[in-house]
Amino acid sequence: MSPRVALLSLLFAALVSCTPSDDRSLIETSRRVFGPLPDQRLASDTPELVKLGEHLYHSNELSVNRTQSCNTCHPVATAGVDRLPTSKGALGTPGRRNTPTVFNASMHLAQFWDGRAATLEEQAAGPIVNPIEMAMPNAEAVAERLRTSPAIDRELFRKAFPGDAQPLTLDHASKAIAAFERTLRTEDRFDEFMKGDANALTAQEKDGLRRFMALGCTSCHNGPLVGARIYQRIGIVNEWPNPEDRGRYEVTKKPADDQVFKVPALRNVANTAPYFHDGSVDQLDTAVQRMAWHQLGKELSAEDRDAVVAFLHALTDKGVAAK
């Protein structure tokens, strides 16, 4: 048993013995297992760079036929997801995997379900030249569009990259988009609870938090994002019913990575349905039951399920419209 797993096991054992009124113990345990969200912005994210990134994020000019922007599949107003099982690209071709939220994205272990992009900047550039997403043919075509389109504010580029003689590039566009995306950070009542406000969660949500930890969900869903720190095989105990997508294996070609995906972050999870890499589940309570069965080999009671779902609702961003 690894030291981290051993520590978590001790924490879970202590948690189960807590009385429902022991809020202080629950707050302290939550701080150790999760911890509040940090600020994900960088010192290099100047106001000018962020403003350019916001402009480009909402611009259809970065898609081949000027029909889509980043915001099409990752609408900021609806938690950074379009709430479809899979999204269609600019040419109408559906993607293979469910669209993840861009909120808190830079704090993830890596980007995309299979972790093929190491940084947010790399992720921002990927869909623009992906043939089934925004479908621009190459980086030079993007640069030409940036240089010639009347819908692109080139003055924003000059202000964001004042020392660069050639600021109109895909690389600069992706840096700006990433800077804007780092402003997309959730704020929820769970952080308030971990900062010491015992009344920030309801009694049922606190009960769900205890059960979430005691059941073993935190073996994968831990840290400030409540996930997104490790890769894990989907269907550890009971096989996943849709084995066609081989996940991270497609990136690494390692047999051990077959059907391995980045563990999703659960911040704002109540607003980001449908769930899983294949977008196969619409309801959060069903997703919780499926995870318990496939990953932990447990059939949850209705009481366990409802309490855990209540806790997950406490992770809802206060600034995003509810589903």
Burial 286-322 (b: 16+ CB within 10 A, else e): bbbbbbbebbbebebeeebbbbbbbbbbbbbbeebee
Rounded Cα distance, 238 and 240, in Å: 7
- Determine whether 133 is an active site residue: yes
Contacts of 256 (CB under 8 A, 6+ apart): none
Contacts of 191 (CB under 8 A, 6+ apart): 36, 37
- Of 28, 48, 61, 133, the catalytic one is 133
Rounded Cα distance, 291 and 232, in Å: 12
Query: For the chain, give me the number of helices (H) and strands (E)?
Result: 13, 2
Contacts of 28 (CB under 8 A, 6+ apart): none
* 187 Rama class: left (phi>0) / alpha (psi -120 to 50) / beta: beta
| Catalytic positions | 133
